[in-house]
Each structure stands twice: as C-alpha cells, then as structure tokens.
Structure 1
Amino acid sequence: MAQSKKVTCLDCGQVNRVPADRLSAGAKCGTCGAKLITGKVAEVDLATLQKAARNDEIPLVVDFWAPWCGPCRMMAPEFSKAAQELSGEARLVKLNTEEHPQAGAKYNIRGIPTMAGFAGGREKARQSGAMPAAQIVNWVKASV
C-alpha cells in the first residue's frame, strides 16, 4: 500500500490523508472537493496557516506581505512562478499582514516581504526581502 501524507485543505481547513503518489494527480479535499495541490499561490488566514503548518506532511512556504508594500507587489509574480515550479514538492501560500496583524505578532515578522518555510510541524527557515522565482525555488529546496 502506498504511503499517505496529511495535507490541509486551504479552502475549508480540513486535514486530508492522501496517498503520496496521488498528491500531484489532482487529489481533492474529502470535505469540500477543492484541489489540494494546485501549483498556484493560495491566500490564507492565520487559523488556516497554523493548522497547515502544524499538520501538513509536505513543506509549506508562506509569504507574509501587505498590499501597500512595493517589494511585496514586485515579488508576487515571482512567488507564483515558484509555486508552479514547486508543485507537488511544496505548497506556497500568502498571508496579508494588514488583514491579519495578529499573524505578524505570532510569527515575529519584523519586515515584509518575509518567507517562512514549515515542515514537520515546525518553522525550518526564514528569508526576508524580495527574490526572483529561481532564487525562491533554490531557497525552498535547500532550506525547507
């Protein structure tokens, strides 16, 4: 039997157990039917981020950003390119620190954009500043 991995649905917050070989094959949430691995960046709130960071068995990379931040807006398309390239290896999400200021306090965010990589229920790496897609991909593969 194939090994399974826990993956949190970013739409409804339900934790799903998915066979590892089906992660990239269009696995869907058992509760709401949303795709679990899309290759696209998802916008999350603090509760979803905490649940996914704690439970997911594939790396989760979070971009803490705000709409007024110029470097954040410049990095957004690069973060999306990196999400496509890392599809199946890691999930990339964004958290708007202006809408969720408690997230900045909880994760000790001192400047934006800041990326944090989570694996095994813990924060494994952190990187501040805008980066191009190739550098984001390399950072995720080396650090998370």
Structure 2
Amino acid sequence: MTQTTAVQLVCPHCGVINRIPADKLSAQPLCGKCKNALISAHPVMATDQNFQRFIDKNDLPVVVDFWAPWCGPCRQFAPVFTDVAAEMATQATFVKLDTQDNQMTASRLQIRSIPTLAIYHHGREVARISGALPKGQFKQWLQQYV
C-alpha cells in the first residue's frame, strides 16, 4: 500500500491549518472549517496579525511581495505577481504585504526598499530580491527555489 504525503496549508480566508494529500493539491481542496478554497489563483493579502502564520505553517514555499500603494514600481509589478501566482498556485503560496499598513512586519524583516520579493520555506527565508522584475525573469528566479 502506498502512503500519501500530506501537505499542511493555511486557509487564506480563516487562517485554519489544513492537511491535504499532496496529490490532491490540483483538485481544488476546500478548508475543513470555512469551506473556502485553500489554493487560490490570487495572492493572499497578509497583515501584521497573520503574516507569520503563513510563513511558519505552510508546507508549500511562500512567495511574498512586500509593496506599498504609493510605489509606482510596486503597482507596475502587481499584475506580474498576480499572473505568476495563478500559474503556480499549486507549487507555492503567493502573499502580498502592504508595508505601509503593516510596518511592524516590514520593520522586523528589515524591508528597506520596495518592491522586495522573498521566498520562505518552513519558516525560514531562502531568497530575497529587490525591484520589479519582468515576468520571465521573475519566473526564472522563482524556479531556482520553488
């Protein structure tokens, strides 16, 4: 009998931790508590209150876009981040953190310029890059770590 590996995911809607068989990630699994989709084609909007939970409790890598609404390059990069999030939804969790509204997290993580992109896996930062990237370059950078 083959043992199926389970993947732990934080629900982007209610924050509950769910365990999903890895081979069912593409089957649009639902949260056991709120019944909303666990995997979204859209980035999750994180806050100071829930950011660390996404970083610590997801078994998939977490790709974070640190941005601010007044930042031109951030707004220019937003559609690229959203497109790639939709394309890679079962390979990573994509999170956006508004550094203007969530200064505690931005300060703690020493975000000095925006946009800054970071990849976390099992609670640990594994990569960081600053600046808006073209889609191809962003995907190439991601594929080194995801």
Q: How does 1:1-144 map to 2 (within 5 A)?
A: 1-144=3-146
Secondary structure class of the residue paired with 1:71: helix
How many Å separate the matches in 2 of 1:86 and 1:133?
13
Higher-Rg structure is 2
Unaligned regions of 5+ residues in structure 1, if any?
Answer: none
2:82 partner amino acid? S
Q: In the aligned structure 2, how far is the partner of 1:48 from the partner of 1:28?
A: 19
CA deviations on 1:104-130 (whole Å, 9 max, x unpaired) are 111110000001101122111001000
Tell me by how many angstroms 1:53 deviates: 0.6
Structure 1 runs of 4+ with >4 Å offset: none
Q: 1:44 and 1:10 mapped to 2: Cα distance?
A: 9
SS at 2:26 equivalent: coil
CA contact (8 A) 1:86 1:137 kept: no
Percent of aligned pairs with the same residue?
A: 41
Deviation at residue 143 of structure 1 after TM alignment: 2.7
SS of the residue 1:117 aligns to: strand
- Measured after TM superposition, the shift of residue 39 of structure 1 is 2.0
CA distance in 2, matches of 1:133, 1:93: 17
Partners of 2:131 and 2:21 in 1: CA distance: 35
Q: Report which stretch shifted further, 13-22 or 129-138.
A: 129-138
* TM-score, length of structure 2 as denominator length: 0.93
CA distance in 2, matches of 1:128, 1:6: 29
Q: What secondary structure is seen at the aligned counterpart in 2 of 1:23?
A: helix
Please list every run of 5 or more consecutive structure 2 residues that lacks an aligned counterpart in the other structure. Answer: none
Contact 1:85-1:137 at 8 Å conserved across structures:
no
